[in-house]
Amino acid sequence: MPNLGKRINRLGPNQQKIILLLIGGIGLSVARTPKQYFRVIGEVSKEWKGINRRMTEKAISSLYRSKLIRERENPDGSLTMVLTDKGKKKAITFNIDNMEIKKPKKWDKKWRLVLFDIPEKHKPAREALRDALKRLSFHEYQKSVFIHPYECQKEIDFVIEYFDIRRFVRTLTAENLDNDIHLRKKFDLV
């Protein structure tokens, strides 16, 4: 399999991997001796690493071009990649999408409510807050009131700060609600 890298280098990274696996499979099927077998595995492994290296280099270059990261030279001459402010904002977005509210072993029988009155001129922030609350498994109690049974103040503060809507949002903790049974069923707390 000489010059395998040159032959598949013109393809995209995922295409390269698929072709590499197919060529490796063909090579293994025609290998007659253990020496040939291990040679094919070694060649495929070496090329696989090359593809990953190229993908990584390409991804880093893309991050530099998009100004999400920058290089910082250290006193010892090494380089460190640092997130820019734009990169930090992007990272926070990823965190919001992956955020979860931890379910405790025992429910403290308190309800956490998020109430908001966000003006029409901030409609995108209002919709983003609604989406974030739904992703965090809040129940829409009313149009601008969401409820959750578990401690989540840190998560809510994070979302509110991220969308810069602190002045429009209030949080409450309640122990008694008139339709408690319905909500307990909703959150599987019965």
Greater pLDDT, 13 or 142 = 142
pLDDT of residue 5: 46
Task: Characterize 1-24 residue by residue with b for buried, 16 or more Cβ atoms within 10 angstroms of its Cβ, and e for exposed.
Answer: beebbeebeeeeeeebbebbeebb
Residue 127 near residue 97, CB atoms below 8 Å: no
Q: What is the mean pLDDT of residues 81-98?
A: 67
Residue 8 reports pLDDT greater than 60: no
Query: Any idea where the domains of the chain sit in the sequence?
Result: 4-65, 99-186
pLDDT digits (tens, 9 = 90+) for 55-68: 667 766 766 777 77
Does the model's pTM come out above 0.75? no
For the domain with range 99-186, which CATH number is right: 3.40.1390.20, 3.30.70.240, 3.30.565.10, 2.60.120.10? Answer: 3.30.70.240
**Average model confidence (pLDDT) across the chain:** 79
Rounded Cα–Cα distance for residues 44 and 30 (Å)? 15
